[in-house]
Amino acid sequence: MIEAVLFDFGGVILTSPFDAFAAYEAEAGLPPDTIRRLNATNPDTNAWARFERREVDPGEFARLFEAEAAASGHTVDAGRILEGLHGALRPTMVEALRRCAARLKTALLTNNIIPIGTQPSTGPVGEVVDLFDVVVESSVVGCRKPERRFYELACEGLGVAPEACVFLDDLGVNLKPARAMGMTTIKVADPDDAIAELAVVVGFPLG
């Protein structure tokens, strides 16, 4: 039986930052998926990983990230990359979250660079975050998806076994360790399709 639903934030509850990255790449004349490839190179130790664990500040991140891009033959503006992290809420996914939260335990699992609670104004996004029983942020706990410990923290906070969880993320690399732990996983490519799949897993309507 499913006891808990775990949600990624950007790309699931929020629109994907990769859309903003793609727009920047087109504007800057970079090959498509340049940012994705940089983030996938040395994914545990690169500038992005270190920034999400708060091992470096924004200025150091920018220097490191731009150096990584230069090493791959590209020139990028790290400041523009960071601007693309602020997505918009997906109303249908928020409604699915509300319905899950009314019947099951819920957790937010997010790789982020600034703790949500320290941001000056979160508005509607903050109201959505308040729906979760547990929030696990890489910038707070010092580890990140896809590190196994990140998922363990969510399960421990909810008091559930991995086998009792379903986890939604838009990146397969983040779903793989969750699935290995025994979680049911759903890859979010099309939000409506993912919600329909989640409804089957939890056994009640979500829209």
Q: Where are the domains of the chain?
A: 4-15+87-202, 17-83
- The residue ranking higher by pLDDT, 171 or 119, is 171
Beta-carbon neighbour count of residue 83 at 10 Å? 12
Cis amide linkage into residue 120, ω under 30° from 0: no
pLDDT score of 120 more than 80: no
Q: In this predicted model, what pLDDT tens digit does every residue of 142-165 receive, in sequence order?
A: 999 999 999 999 999 999 999 999
* Model pLDDT, residue 92: 98
Its pTM stands at 0.87
* pLDDT band, residue 85 (cuts 50/70/90): confident
Nearest Cα residue to 133 out of 162, 104, 112: 104
- The residue ranking higher by pLDDT, 84 or 167, is 167
Strand partners, 89: 14
Q: Is 9 helix (H, G, I), strand (E, B) or coil?
A: coil
Q: In this predicted model, what pLDDT tens digit does every residue of 195-204 receive, in sequence order?
A: 999 999 999 9
* Model pLDDT, residue 86: 78
pLDDT score of 172 more than 70: yes
Name the average pLDDT for the chain. 94
> CA separation (Å) from 168 to 21, 46, 61, 107, 175?
21, 25, 28, 11, 8
Angle between helices 91-103 and 191-202 (to 10 degrees): 10
Q: In this predicted model, what pLDDT tens digit does every residue of 22-49 receive, in sequence order?
A: 999 999 999 999 999 999 999 999 999 9
CATH number of 4-15+87-202, picked from 3.40.50.1000, 3.40.1010.10, 3.40.50.300, 3.30.70.260: 3.40.50.1000
* Model pLDDT, residue 122: 66
CATH of domain 17-83: 1.10.150
4-15+87-202 shares its CATH topology with 17-83: no
pLDDT score of 121 more than 70: no
Give the mean model confidence (pLDDT) for residues 162-184. Answer: 98
